[in-house]
Structure 1
Amino acid sequence: MADVGNTRARYRRILRFAGRYMVQAWWYELFLPRLGFGALAARGRARRLQTIARRFHVLAVQYGGLMIKVGQFLSSRLDVLPPEITKELEGLQDEVPPVAFPAIRTLAEAELGVPLGRAFEWVDENPVAAASLGQAHRARLTQADAAETGFADVVIKVQRPGIEAIVDVDLAALRRVAAWLSRVKVVRDHVDLPALLEEFAYTSRQEIDYLHEAQNAERFAADFAGDPRVGVPDVAWERTTRRVLTLEDVTAIKINDVDGLRAAGIDPGHVAIEFADVMFDQLFSNGFFHADPHPGNVFVTPVERGAGEGGKAWKLTFIDFGMMGEVPDGLRHGLQQLVIAVASRNSAKMIESIRAVGVLLPSADTNELERAMTALFARFGGMGFAELQKVDPREFRAFATEFGDVVRSLPFQLPENFLLIIRAVSLTSGMCSSLDPEFNVWDAVEPYADRLLRDERGNVVQAFAREAASTAAVVARLPRRLDDMITRAEDGRLVADAPKLEQRLRRLERMGRRAVSAVLFAALLISGAVLRAEDLFVGTVLMVGSVIPLLHTLFAGFAGRQGPGD
């Protein structure tokens, strides 16, 4: 990595790289087409874009810092960059050499306030992992700390020295590049670069705050408390600061180590199904998800059970909670509807869901997209990864080109947090396919969508039950209230206000009718459900017929409330 003190040279190098290829893009994409050489410029476009991405890859590995994060970030921006670039960058990993241990020791001791020899029984000087923002070393807690935390073996994650200054320099350079690009109309009309950069800056600053990561780990653990499928390392808070994070060592079989899984008696295909299900729970149920579930961040941990419990089992253990995403309630409901639409191959509902989550702008004409989605489901719906590999590449390429042209012609954008959702889903899909080439994502999506539908129906039933209970309570109190009113009339204590009395009588009458409808709905629904097992037709007719009294129960009286005086 470049010398931390040489920040000015780093800043200039990044700007030179960006400026060079911006000029090249202007020459080929704007100037030559105006001279009538558009076909010539288009002929070498794919090769030029691949060259740019390859050279950026080299720059990122050489400089480290945020440059690698930029590559990973851009590789997910399918709405911004062409596939020639995203494909080249999607394999970019933290390919930087480790920092010498003396520098790591100095930073860790300054943060912890004590020598490492007093903070830990021992620390392995060879890193277990080195990344662009920090690196990790195995260690063991002292006996006193181990007794307090309940575990002894730990992994210490330490920031790379000077990384905050490097992040500041990189962000300054990127803001300058974004300002240049924002002056280009074709870019300005399709991409809000300043907002995109601030989204990236926010994510990056969170990732170098280890106190924030520790809190993420505890929140993730709370979401899966009591769930035997998921494990999370505990935090040693006494040995954790903003720049040093100490976690329980939970190293086990890497999730993509197929040979290791089989040697432990674990079926990789079962791991793929479980992993997909756990990720779906994070995205569509919990609303808080691991946005970087690559192979280095997920282990399969064998768990010994008693003889009466089925012998050996396993769980998925997640680490590295620096990059986490949140899905607001409204967006999560939209995503649930999208999953249901995909599972049912319903193109119209899928497009409606995409619009609801804010991806498609209101002005989008979706007729062509719906036609393309219908064709997509008809031709490739239900196919797994292995089946898709058997499709004629020419057919697949032609369809992808046509479908891509339709998508690119639409005004769409990714709402906040959607970038991390796409990243998580892409990594999950790739991981499952690597574990089991026969893995079919439809097999994972369909039962999950079915579960979402059941939950959705359950919520509707619960809402109705609350309404019915409220109505029943009023009806139950009605005879007593009428008796009290008659008694007061006999005693001469009844004061009549004709308009209000008539109004209340009308309301009581409506409540009575709604109560009868509620009872009728329950009777038809329950009898239909019971008879359906014996006589499908009669049971179905009764259940469908129950909708009429249900609608009356829920909506009767609305018109009356709008009248004057109500």
Structure 2
Amino acid sequence: MNLANIYTSYLKTVRFMQIFGIIFSFFWKEMMLRTPWGRYKRRKQIKAQKQVYSTPERLRFTIERLGPTYVKFGQILADRPDVVAEHLRLELKMLQSKVEPFSNEMALRIIEEELRQPIEEVFDHFDKRCLAAASIGQVYQARLKDGSEVVVKVRRPKIDKKIKLDLYLLRIIAQKFAKTYPEMAAINIVGVVDEFAESIHKELDYYNEAANMLRFGTLFAQSEWVYIPKVYMEYTTRRVIVQEKIVGITPDSNDELMAAGLDPKAVASNGANVILSMIFRYGFFHADPHPGNMFIMRNNVVGLIDFGMVGVLRPRDMEFLANLSLGFARRNETSIADALITLCDIRYFDKRDDLIFRIHLLLQKSAHIPTDKLDFSKMAQDCINIITRFGLQIPGGIFMLIKALATIQKVAEHLDSQLPFTEMVKPYAKELLAKKYSPKKMANSLFDLLKSYGTLISNLPADVGEIIYKVKQGQIHHKVSFDDEAMFRRLVRNFGFQMGYAIMLVGLFIGSIILQVTKVDLPYSNFLIWISSALIFMAIIRWLFKKK
């Protein structure tokens, strides 16, 4: 074992001990609180009107102590009703990822290392005070030599190594959990951890964020609703990203917007249309459109920042959302249920009627509410909650989608309480389905289908010839496996006994007839005929009335 492996093992051990200590402290306190002394102390604190925290709150504090990796994982779990109970999800939503900034000197050193030249040679002015800090990086203001105002985001030192260690340990914990509780396989906790690992690795690499910005910039280059800041690729690396500074007002306060001569209702409409366009037209959307990632510019244009977390939808996901939207608008529980089943990639679902009934009950709760007043994101989340109770697995990207819709709906309705968000979704859903069933699309699908059948027919003689040849050569093998081998053995044994019994009875009956014909003087031949006939009759009756 070389020194690098020894050092890595040392780091894993140290980090594991830190995590173990924090988790052990949490469980020890929880255990003590459930003792008579703990309950007495709790009642005493309540009487003294002191702050008493619940178990979910204490769990949240513990996750925050574990560090940014676990905080981000907790935030993702907060949007996964298939993994976490509702009361825990509400608490996990309160996790804060804000952390203390690291030293400005270290940040400047990283920037110079990444750009391979002194700060003064790249920037005309660089404000060495940290503008904002987050779990992965922090931001500074600067001005390039050509006079462009920019923001510089720099990744925390050694954060990638720390996160890799945390992910390694987190996956071990998930595997142990899945092995200990196999009955919870539908949750697929290891898959959730792997999804999270892929997402956070992308956030660690600023090239991914730069690529997202360039793609959104191309998609919305002609849009009047949104502005995507320019990214300076010549000054961007895996640890540093330089992008255009956006000047505007965050959409937190209607009064501030109106004081600046902006229209909150137009801002709400523009913001909603931007995210809906991303989702329904491109299947590529900003996954965290909260007010902190928005700046409202002149003419009510929405400027977006922070593209580290984006969502990508498959055509099936987009079709699901369109059918779900129109199902809500038409109050059609069958189309909603079918959309959910299709999303889970299931062709036949034996509990479909039960699912339709559950959706029907959900729609009945809002039967007297006009369509334009429906809470679209909440109803979508309720449908996801229903389908997860049937043990079906939802694609991970859908949870990110629901979160993005809920966030932008909340922001938009804060600016305009009368905004008909559900009605705004309908045109996008109809446009998506119209494209899918357009004559051109249908013609292309038909052409592909005919091409597949043509290939099948042309290859059929050769395939059949190959199969026959392999059969003759004894090269065809078919492997059959059974989940429950003991049950299969019992089944084969019972079948063998029954077949033997049937052969014996039939043989006895035929033999007694032969004896009767050839040896008329045998006294027991009639007895054998009657006995065998009776036994055969009883076997037939038993078979007819046997429980299936």
TM-score scaled by length of structure 2: 0.68
What's the counterpart of residue 189 of structure 2? 193
Q: Does 1:221 align with 2:217?
A: yes
Against the structure 1 CA distance between its residues 403 and 137, is the aligned structure 2 distance closer, same or farther, given a 3 Å change threshold?
A: closer
Deviates more, 1:214-223 or 1:407-416: 407-416
Contiguous gaps of at least 5 residues in structure 2: 1-7, 34-52, 447-548
Against the structure 1 CA distance between its residues 69 and 251, is the aligned structure 2 distance closer, same or farther, given a 3 Å change threshold?
A: farther
SS in 2 for 1:433: helix
Q: CA deviation at 1:387?
A: 7.1
Q: What do residues 442-471 of structure 1 show as CA deviations (whole Å, max 9, x unaligned)?
A: 2322343344455456x147757999xxxx
What's the counterpart of residue 241 of structure 1? 237
Against the structure 1 CA distance between its residues 287 and 448, is the aligned structure 2 distance closer, same or farther, given a 3 Å change threshold?
A: closer
- Counterpart mapping for 1:357-368 below 5 A: 357-358=343-344, 362-363=348-349, 365-368=351-354
Q: Does 1:77 align with 2:63?
A: no
SS in 1 for 2:150: strand
Contact 2:226 2:270 in 1 (8 A): no
Contact 2:82 2:385 in 1 (8 A): no
Match of 1:321 among 307, 310, 315: 307
Contact 1:291 1:424 in 2 (8 A): yes
Structure of larger gyration radius: 2
Contact 1:382 1:442 in 2 (8 A): no
Against the structure 1 CA distance between its residues 333 and 156, is the aligned structure 2 distance closer, same or farther, given a 3 Å change threshold?
A: same
What's the counterpart of residue 39 of structure 2? none
Q: CA deviation at 1:67?
A: 2.1
What's the counterpart of residue 230 of structure 1? 226
Match of 1:434 among 411, 414, 438: 414
C-alpha separation between the residues in 1 aligned to 2:16 and 2:212?
32
Q: Does 1:110 align with 2:123?
A: no
Against the structure 1 CA distance between its residues 11 and 22, is the aligned structure 2 distance closer, same or farther, given a 3 Å change threshold?
A: same
Match of 2:20 among 8, 15, 23: 15
Against the structure 1 CA distance between its residues 385 and 317, is the aligned structure 2 distance closer, same or farther, given a 3 Å change threshold?
A: farther
Q: Does 1:179 align with 2:175?
A: yes
Against the structure 1 CA distance between its residues 383 and 266, is the aligned structure 2 distance closer, same or farther, given a 3 Å change threshold?
A: farther
C-alpha separation between the residues in 2 aligned to 1:217 and 1:224?
10
C-alpha separation between the residues in 1 aligned to 2:31 and 2:300?
55
- Counterpart mapping for 1:321-340 below 5 A: 321-340=307-326
Matched residue type, 1:413: Q
Match of 1:353 among 334, 339, 350: 339
C-alpha separation between the residues in 2 aligned to 1:452 and 1:126?
47
What's the counterpart of residue 426 of structure 2? 446
Matched residue type, 2:330: S
Q: CA deviation at 1:113?
A: 0.9
SS in 2 for 1:190: helix
SS in 2 for 1:322: coil
What's the counterpart of residue 36 of structure 2? none
C-alpha separation between the residues in 2 aligned to 1:218 and 1:22?
47
What's the counterpart of residue 370 of structure 1? 356
C-alpha separation between the residues in 2 aligned to 1:466 and 1:378?
38
Q: Does 1:410 align with 2:387?
A: no
What's the counterpart of residue 159 of structure 2? 163
SS in 1 for 2:164: helix
Q: CA deviation at 1:9?
A: 4.2
Matched residue type, 1:433: E
SS in 2 for 1:182: helix
Contiguous gaps of at least 5 residues in structure 1: 29-49, 147-151, 303-312, 390-395, 468-566
C-alpha separation between the residues in 2 aligned to 1:26 and 1:355?
42
Q: CA deviation at 1:314?
A: 2.2
Contact 1:359 1:415 in 2 (8 A): no
What's the counterpart of residue 507 of structure 2? none
What's the counterpart of residue 379 of structure 1? 365
Match of 1:207 among 203, 209, 224: 203
What's the counterpart of residue 274 of structure 2? 278
Q: CA deviation at 1:412?
A: 1.8
Matched residue type, 1:338: L
Q: CA deviation at 1:416?
A: 4.2
Q: CA deviation at 1:252?
A: 1.3
Contact 2:267 2:300 in 1 (8 A): no
TM-score scaled by length of structure 1: 0.66
Q: CA deviation at 1:54?
A: 2.2
Aligned pair count reads 416
Cα RMSD, aligned residues only: 3.6
Matched residue type, 1:317: G
What's the counterpart of residue 54 of structure 1? 57
Contact 1:224 1:230 in 2 (8 A): yes
Q: CA deviation at 1:61?
A: 3.7
C-alpha separation between the residues in 1 aligned to 2:11 and 2:102?
17
